[in-house]
Structures are given as C-alpha cells and as structure tokens.
C-alpha cells in the first residue's frame, strides 16, 4: 500500500469518527427535548417524527463508527 492510500485511510477514519460524534450529539440533543419541563417539551403530535429522526441519527452514527473501524483495521493490516 502506498503512502497516499495510507494517508487517505487515516483521513477517512478521522472523518467517520467526526460524523459519528456529530450524529450521536444530534440524537442526544433531540432526546433531551423529551425530558424538558412542560412548556418547552416536544408536543405529542411530533413525537413520532422526532423518534424517527433520533433513530436514524443513531443508526447513521453506528454506520460511521463501523466504517471508521474498518479503516482502522485496514491500516493495522498494512502496518
């Protein structure tokens, strides 16, 4: 594996980790909306929408983590 590919894998791993943290943070931020006091709480009509968005954010974060892990394994195999 050449140096350019190794650098690309390191950058990809870093990017996937950032995306993972970003989507986990977004999911946590939206989850906090369910625990707020009554005047600020998410209304019943939009609970399903927010739950879907939170679920999608967690699934996407898991996918990004998996891609980051695969890049890390590929790097370790080459070193």
Q: pLDDT-based confidence at 16, cuts 50/70/90?
A: very high
Question: Angle between the 3-35 and 47-78 helix axes, to the nearest 10 degrees?
Answer: 160
Residue 79 has pLDDT above 80, yes or no: no
Residue 47 has pLDDT above 80, yes or no: yes
Residue with the bigger pLDDT between 44 and 73: it is 73
pLDDT at position 39 is 83
pTM (2 decimals)? 0.80
pLDDT at position 73 is 93
Residue 41 has pLDDT above 90, yes or no: no
Contacts 24+ apart (CB under 8 A), 41-45: none
């Amino acid at each position: 594996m050449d140096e350019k590919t190794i650098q690309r894998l390191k950058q990809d791993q870093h990017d996937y980790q950032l995306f993972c943290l970003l989507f986990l943070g977004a999911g946590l931020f939206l989850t906090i909306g369910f625990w707020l006091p009554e005047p600020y709480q998410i209304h019943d009509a939009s609970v399903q929408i927010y739950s879907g968005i939170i679920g999608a954010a967690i699934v996407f974060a898991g996918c990004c983590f998996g891609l980051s892990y695969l890049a890390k394994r590929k790097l370790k195999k080459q070193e």
